[in-house]
Amino acid sequence: MKKIGFIGLGIMGKPMAMNLIKAGYNLTVYDIRPQPVKEVVAAGAKECKSSRDVAAQSEVVITMLPNSPDVKKAVLGANGVLEGAKTGTILIDMSSIAPLVSKEIAAEAQKKSVEMLDAPVSGGEPKAKDGTLAIMVGGKKEVFEKVEDILKVMGSSAVLVGDIGSGNTTKLANQIIVALNIAAMSEAMVLATKAGVDPEKVFQAVRGGLAGSNVLNAKMPLVLDGNFKPGFRIELHIKDLANALDTAHEIGVPVPLTGVVMEIMQALKVDAKAGDDHGGIIQFYEKSAKVGVRRPKK
């Protein structure tokens, strides 16, 4: 069984690493924060002191980090993955970053005879915990096939969508769809609530029809409880939409609705809600309409 290194034990990375341990993989880990490292080591992983050390002890290295600069530093920087990786090492970057950065890192990795896949995920913390993430993969088919079994431990689906960078392009498309779904849900439910209709009954009425979606089913119960504890933080969705807007502008694709939702999220950031779950987008509409979408008190 392959020796796996895991770099980045945040909200998503820690449960993903835990699932690999449960599946019996030999796991070495590194994070700049000691607490999640302690938790994963207590579950059976081995601690390393740098990304370089992780790579030196692994056949497959997984990175799960916040943004493009973090991945570049962990892979290309001093004491980074490429300093410790051996010929034939496979790097799987499961972070959500700019597609062009994925291509840049992969080109540098290739110089060291290290193969790379970009494999961002969707599903948030709940699906990271239960191993049912949707994984979107870019890279060579033969490399993907070597690690597909590893990816299937962390996700219910792992789909090779194209060459390197394609995984993150797919993730940008995913994040646009999710953001616009949450905004549409928010707009509709604030309207219904201010019109005097019970939002929980509206949810039950529409969820089985064409307006129903995984986003609606996942986020509406939390909204009704006023629970904006982050599964996926607004500030991270801002990062993804910034990458989506940059990519769209580079290739000449207008994305007007994405721009509108980005500004809603920016307003929430100014309102000190950047750390809330992205379901908290509804708070922008609630504040504007002076109404709260919550379960009626019994």
Q: Which residues are catalytic?
A: 171
- Asked whether the beta carbons of 164 and 106 are under 8 A apart, the reply is yes
61 membership: H or E segment, kind and range: strand 60-63
As beta bridge partners, residue 46 has 28
Question: Which residue has tokens 């299937």?
Answer: 152
* Cα-only R_g, the chain: 20
Structure tokens at 155: 């996700």
Q: How far apart are CA 284 and CA 269, in angstroms?
A: 10
Q: Tell me if 267 sits within 8 A of 288, measured CB to CB.
A: no
Q: Nearest Cα to 5, choosing from 34, 31, 35, 38? A: 31
- Phi then psi for residue 229, to 5 deg, are -60, 130
| Residue with tokens 């990519």, as numbered in its chain | 247
Spatial distance between the Cα atoms of 173 and 288, rounded to a whole number of angstroms = 28
What is the identity of the amino acid at 207?
A: R
